[in-house]
Copies of this chain bind each other. A is one copy, B any other.
Amino acid sequence: MSNPFFKNHGPILVQDILKLLKLQIDSDKKNIELKDIKDLYIANNSDITFFHSKKYKEAAKNTKASFCITSESLKNELPSSCVPLIVENVLVSVSQITSMFYPDAINDDFDNSATNIDETIFKDKVNCGKNVLIGKNVSIGTNCKIGHNTIIEKNVSIGDNCSIGSNTIIRNSLISNNVKILDNCVVGKHGFGFFPNKIKNLRYPHIGVVIIEENCEIGCGSTIDRGSMSNTVIGKNTFLDNQIHIAHNVKIGENSIIAGQVGIAGSSIIGSNVRIGGQAGISGHINVGNNVEIGGGSGVIKNIPDNTKVMGYPAKNIREFLRDNK
């Protein structure tokens, strides 16, 4: 994934990683420096990776990473070029190591670097309301509008001809041209991702961003969380109505239309030309194909193939739904 915003604090010595994981290895590799943590597919030999589910067996066999956080039962799938680091809970350990590389990606406290737009280079460039705040590492294109009390926190790129409403908060987001984001939205905060823990849940870092492609519209009161290890993406010319919640790592295709109060749970992938009726919910890690119509109020708990109309909870073929509910 592209990661334009979170500063990588690597390289990190293998021995420092071992120390954090309370591991020891018999290897002269302890003094190697690792540059980043990446998934099995894109890691190269200067990276550490992770392998937590048999689903990724093929990727594990071919990984180029030189270290891999994994479990006793999975370690034998890795190539000999990759040193397995055996831990009790792979994802918790991944979270800890990712936090070493990206310590800024865990907390989402308010951005106290943000200053009034009148004190920035955007003063004369942007048609803006009262009390607009701009954080560090922000770029804004030509012919943009930003409403009253809106806070563009750190790490935001806004294209040309965009219109941002009032009382909206954005961080860690890449916003293309001709995008409208209406009032009272929150875009780019970390998702609801953490490891439950009796005393105090352990937040994992969210190093992804929110990408909103051109010509999109985001309705009032919506929340779009940034990704954890990948990005959250809203495709070109997709329109979201009011009070919608898009969780971390969700990817929505182009020309889709999503009505009010819909919620899409983490890591689901929605195709292009999809229409989702009001208040429908999509479970996490679901694939919804292209040209799908999902009736209002539906609860989608399994994958939906292309060119399908579904309705109901759980969602099924709409003919079946209407027949069953005559």
Q: Which residues of A contact B (CB under 8 A)?
A: 107-110, 112, 114, 116, 127-131, 133, 145-149, 151, 163-167, 169, 178, 182-184, 186, 189, 192, 194, 196-201, 215, 217, 219-221, 223, 225, 237, 239, 241-243, 245, 247, 255, 257, 259-261, 263, 265, 277-279, 281, 283, 295-297, 299, 301, 312-314, 325
Contacts and interface: CB of A to CB of B under 8 A. Distances in A.
B129 A112 contact: yes
A189 B183 contact: yes
A323 B169 CA distance: 44
A279 to B, nearest CB: 4
Contacts of A151: 148-149, 166-167
Contacts of A164: 110
A166 B114 CA distance: 12
B221 A186 contact: yes
Contact of A314 (B146, B201, B279, B325): B325
A263 B245 contact: no
16 contacts: A109-B147, A109-B163, A110-B163, A149-B151, A151-B167, A165-B169, A184-B184, A186-B220, A192-B259, A192-B260, A194-B239, A201-B237, A220-B223, A223-B242, A278-B281, A297-B313
A299 B299 contact: no
A199 B220 contact: no
A265 B255 contact: no
B133 A116 contact: no
Contact of A239 (B165, B201, B312): B201
B221 A199 contact: no
A265 B257 contact: no
Contact of A200 (B112, B184, B237): B237
